[in-house]
A and B are shown apart, each in its own frame.
Chain A
Amino acid sequence: DTAVSQTPKYLVTQMGNDKSIKCEQNLGHDTMYWYKQDSKKFLKIMFSYNNKELIINETVPNRFSPKSPDKAHLNLHINSLELGDSAVYFCASSQGSGSSYEQYFGPGTRLTVT
């Protein structure tokens, strides 16, 4: 049974389009995250939600809008896609928001903008 799942796994779209990525976790965790991994494999946090409340919002263009309808789901909507948005996006979750909690990652969504 998949702990953290993401859909779709691959997403190919054209510049200017709007797209969404969905994430679900069945671990009963309170905190969820979005990370971006660029072409050089560098990972950087984008957002974090705790109990549906936004708690971390890194310097991310406002074309990116996360939404958490409930504790188990965290979606990422991207408007007006640009070439530079091409990356792998990972969802993660942790039991709590404290520093000692490990994060569990989903399989990633590879976004390609043409």
Chain B
Amino acid sequence: AQSVTQLGSHVSVSEGALVLLRCNYSSSVPPYLFWYVQYPNQGLQLLLKYTTGATLVKGINGFEAEFKKSETSFHLTKPSAHMSDAAEYFCAVSEDSGGYNKLIFGAGTRLAVHP
């Protein structure tokens, strides 16, 4: 079974600083990987996804993630944090279940951005 580990349940950065949220996955097949963001009292919004091809994936709101097969990682970065980036971030891997897809989520990382 596939799994996702997000290192650091809480990350705090200053406004304008680099954001780095870590995600490692376990998969026996080439993975499909996703990052979602959840703002308070809202649903999940897709930031970006990796399926095949280019290993550096650009998403919305200035975020990007790099797929590194050798490290089984898919870390999320943003060069300069904004106050509006404060939210919960979830990394997920898509697992094949009898030919159908289900998302396996990490435990989430809460990002706090302070002035």
- B-contacting residues of A (Cβ < 8 Å)? 4, 31, 33, 40-45, 48, 50, 55-56, 58, 90, 92, 94, 97-108
Stretch at the interface among B60-68, B78-86, B95-103: B95-103
Q: How far is the CB of B115 from chain A (nearest CB, A)?
A: 25
Given A4-B43, A90-B44, A102-B46; A45-B102 close (CB under 8 Å): yes
A90 & B88 in contact (Cβ 8 Å cutoff):
no
Q: Is the interface of B mostly helix, strand, loop or mixed?
A: strand
Counting chain B residues whose Cβ lies within 8 A of the other chain, the interface size class is 20 to 34
- A-contacting residues of B (Cβ < 8 Å)? 32, 34, 36, 38, 41-46, 49, 51, 88, 90, 94-103, 105, 107-108
B42 & A108 in contact (Cβ 8 Å cutoff):
yes
Given A42-B107, A99-B32; A48-B44 close (CB under 8 Å): no
A56 & B102 in contact (Cβ 8 Å cutoff):
yes
Q: How far is the CB of B31 from chain A (nearest CB, A)?
A: 9
Q: How far is the CB of B28 from chain A (nearest CB, A)?
A: 13
Residues of A within 8 A of B46 (CB): 102-104
- The residue of chain A having its C-beta at the shortest distance from the C-beta of B34 within the complex is A102
| Complex Cα–Cα for A92 and B101 (A) | 12
Q: How far is the CB of A105 from chain B (nearest CB, A)?
A: 4
